[in-house]
Each structure stands twice: as C-alpha cells, then as structure tokens.
C-alpha cells in the first residue's frame, strides 16, 4: 500500500539541478562557517562580521576557558614539589610578616605577588573559606618566568618559596565553585613587598 505515487522520470531533478543545489548548499555552509562558527567557537574572524555580531568575543572566552581547563588538568597531573619540604626551617636576616585576604566570586580570579631577590625565602600559608580554588604559584621578572607549583580544587596550602630570580613571585587563584570564597594568605620571610595585581 502506497501513500503517494512514485514520481515519473520527468518529475525527477536533472543532474544539472542537483549539481546546482549542491553548490548552493556548499556555498551557504562555507559562509556560515566563516561568519558564525569559526568566530563563535575558535575566535577566528577573517571577515570581521563575527566581532560586529559579538561572536568573536564569545569564541575568545571559550578559548580562554579551554586553555585554563587544560592548564588546570596539567597542574593536577604534574604537580611539582617546592624547592624544599614545607617543614624546613626559614633562615632570613630581616623577616617580614604580611597577611592579605581576597574574596572571589564564582569564576573570578585574583593574583597576589611578592617582590623577592634571587635566593630569598619566604614561608607561606594560605587557606580558603567557603570552598576550594585552583591555583598557580609562579614567578616573573627581568625576562624570566617560572611555575613553581599548581593545584586544582585545593582548600589551602603551605610551604616555603625560594625565589629563582629577582622579580615578582606569587599566587594566582581562581574560584571554579558556585559560591563566593575568601582566600587568606600569610607570609613570613625575605620579601620586600606584597600586593594584589589582579
């Protein structure tokens, strides 16, 4: 039993019509790819239309979040030890003591840096009230940069930081939870300055 009659050969599209329809579909897909998909997914915008429509900004955010997630995964898998155990004694001539707290909304990040000379040591302890954070302990200055340690979903950490070179050394924390958290950092040692930079 048939619901419709089979079409006759005259009613079927010709090869030329099928080729034309295929080329139109291919051109439409290419335009959609270049003007919408690439800007929105990968922040690639060769025509500039994606930025006008706000799609490129969306793609930039996606790429940034993907990079952070990859960095978080790499940090959790290859967490590097500090230069010395956390219970090692601190030997500093002029010890300085500081404490700073930062509150992070969901998705927000903050960075706190110490100014240190090469070889200077500072003991640190930080804790999170209200949840956990992802973190990166790193340094930069005078063309140098290094990552000392990273962690994901951490409620706090303590240890000793020995500056690998003159410059800024400190922590970047990001709240990946769904509620506000407060990170409190306490440091004692041979740093000369402490400040929030982000």
What's the confidence (pLDDT) of residue 2? 59
What's the confidence (pLDDT) of residue 74? 62
- For 176, the enclosing helix (H) or strand (E) is none
What's the confidence (pLDDT) of residue 43? 79
What's the confidence (pLDDT) of residue 80? 44
Q: Are 43 and 65 in contact (CB under 8 A)?
A: no
CA atoms within 13 A on the CB side of 124: 26
**Which pTM does this prediction carry?**
0.57
Alpha-helical runs (H) found in 78-145: none
Residue 117 makes CB contacts below 8 A (sequence gap 6+) with 163, 166, 190, 192
Rounded distance between C-alpha atoms, residue 188 and residue 122, angstroms: 6
Domain map of the chain by residue range? 15-77, 96-196
Decide if domain 96-196 falls under CATH 2.60.120.680.
yes
Per-residue pLDDT of the chain (198 residues; tens, 9 = 90+): 556 677 777 778 888 988 999 999 999 989 888 888 888 788 788 888 878 887 777 777 777 767 776 766 665 444 444 444 444 444 445 799 999 999 999 999 999 999 999 999 999 999 999 999 999 999 998 889 999 999 999 999 999 999 999 999 999 999 999 999 999 999 999 999 999 998
Residue 4 makes CB contacts below 8 A (sequence gap 6+) with none
Token pair listed for 118: 């090469």
CA atoms within 13 A on the CB side of 131: 19
What's the confidence (pLDDT) of residue 159? 95
What's the confidence (pLDDT) of residue 81? 43
What's the confidence (pLDDT) of residue 52? 83
Rounded distance between C-alpha atoms, residue 124 and residue 19, angstroms: 70
């Amino acid at each position: 039993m048939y619901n419709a009659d089979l079409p006759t050969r005259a009613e079927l599209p010709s090869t030329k019509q099928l080729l034309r329809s295929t080329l139109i579909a291919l051109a439409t897909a290419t335009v959609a790819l270049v003007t919408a998909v690439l800007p929105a997914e990968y922040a690639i915008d060769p025509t500039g239309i994606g930025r006008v429509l706000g799609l490129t900004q969306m793609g930039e955010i996606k790429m940034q979040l993907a990079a952070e997630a990859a960095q978080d995964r790499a940090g959790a898998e290859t967490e590097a030890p500090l230069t010395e155990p956390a219970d090692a004694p601190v030997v500093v001539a002029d010890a300085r003591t500081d404490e700073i707290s930062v509150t992070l909304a969901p998705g927000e990040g903050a960075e706190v840096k110490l100014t240190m000379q090469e070889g200077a040591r500072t003991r640190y302890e930080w804790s999170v009230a209200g949840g956990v954070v992802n973190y990166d302990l790193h340094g930069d200055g005078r063309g140098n940069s290094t990552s000392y340690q990273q962690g994901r979903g951490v409620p706090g950490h303590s240890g000793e930081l020995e500056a690998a070179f003159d410059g800024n050394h400190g922590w970047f924390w990001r709240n990946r939870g769904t509620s506000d958290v407060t990170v409190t950092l306490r440091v004692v040692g041979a740093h000369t300055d402490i400040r929030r930079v982000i």
